[in-house]
Structure 1
Amino acid sequence: MNAYNNIYDAIGGAPAVRRLVEAFYPRVQAHPLLSPLFPEDITPVMEKQYMFLTQFFGGPSLYSDRHGHPMMRARHLPFPITKERADAWLGCMRGALAESGLPEELQTLVLQRLSGPAYHFINTGDGEEG
């Protein structure tokens, strides 16, 4: 991460996180495996994701300040998350990162950082719906 102490600063702080979220959610909404898991009005989800990623990448604790401890696995338990959906989510993020124009090494770092949680949220086997 060069001279930066965290991903948040390395990618460009708040504006970069906002751009990433705004590039990510149209992909999610268009994805046949992911779109059914999200509400039609995606705006509140996008704002929560912006706050979470800001904090997750080492920026200000926006998510915890507003919503308490993230407890992301617990918050995702009501939704049937399969490995296939985790892969799809990461694929949407990969596309959003590519669109963001971040250097390749930062794109890889962000994807690596998000892969652990994405696969940790799996709570349903493929072909199973809850």
Structure 2
Amino acid sequence: MSEPSATEPTFYEQIGGHETIARIVEVFYEGVATDEVLRPIYPEDDLAPAAARFTMFLVQYWGGPTTYSTQRGHPRLRMRHAPFTVTMEARDHWLTHFRAGLDAVELTPEQDAEFWAYVQHAATFMVNTMDEPKPI
């Protein structure tokens, strides 16, 4: 992510701000809600709180308000996800739903590529086991 100058808009502003990120996250969670691999990773019955946290995180990451850190502290993504089994299969499902979210908004090809590169890296970083879960 490149740092904007004092007069250059942030990536967050360039892509349309909160509205754009909220739409990406909305579409993402629509997919997660019925995904047999990912849904168990989200223990809350209502995905709205997770969506709100994810939206705040992405807003802050891309240069918007720092509400996430104000409310939740440092993101500590790996630590927050450590209690859950995150496999390569889960990563792939996560990326499928995030891709749908990106496809639902009108980013330029350059903006899309920058956002997509970040989420691919982040999703791979979250993988914490190469073992697939055992069937119940």
Give TM-score scaled by structure 2 length: 0.85
- 1:28 Cα deviation (Å)? 1.1
Which of 10, 14, 30 is equivalent to 1:10? Answer: 14
More helix by share: 1
Larger radius of gyration: 2
Once residues 97 and 14 of structure 1 are traced to their aligned partners in structure 2, the CA distance between those partners, rounded to angstroms, is 14
Which of 44, 60, 84 is equivalent to 1:79? Answer: 84
Once residues 114 and 56 of structure 1 are traced to their aligned partners in structure 2, the CA distance between those partners, rounded to angstroms, is 11
Which of 101, 106, 112 is equivalent to 2:106? Answer: 101
CA contact (8 A) 1:7 1:110 kept: no
CA contact (8 A) 1:4 1:10 kept: no
1:13-28 to 2 correspondence within 5 Å? 13-28=17-32
Q: What does residue 71 of structure 2 align with? A: 66
**What SS class does the counterpart of residue 45 from structure 2 fall into?**
coil
**What SS class does the counterpart of residue 24 from structure 1 fall into?**
helix
- 1:36 Cα deviation (Å)? 1.5
Runs of 4+ with >3 A deviation: 3-6
Structure 1 residue ranges without an equivalent (≥5) = none
Which of 33, 38, 41 is equivalent to 1:34? Answer: 38
CA contact (8 A) 1:51 1:63 kept: yes
User: What are the superposed Cα offsets for residues 88-109 of structure 1, whole Å, 9 maximum, x if unpaired?
Assistant: 1111110111112323332221
Q: How high is the sequence identity, in percent, across the aligned residues?
A: 34
**RMSD of aligned residue pairs (Cα, Å):** 1.8
Once residues 44 and 112 of structure 1 are traced to their aligned partners in structure 2, the CA distance between those partners, rounded to angstroms, is 26
Once residues 80 and 38 of structure 2 are traced to their aligned partners in structure 1, the CA distance between those partners, rounded to angstroms, is 16
Residue identity matched to 1:6 = T
Structure 2 residue ranges without an equivalent (≥5) = none
Give TM-score scaled by structure 1 length: 0.89
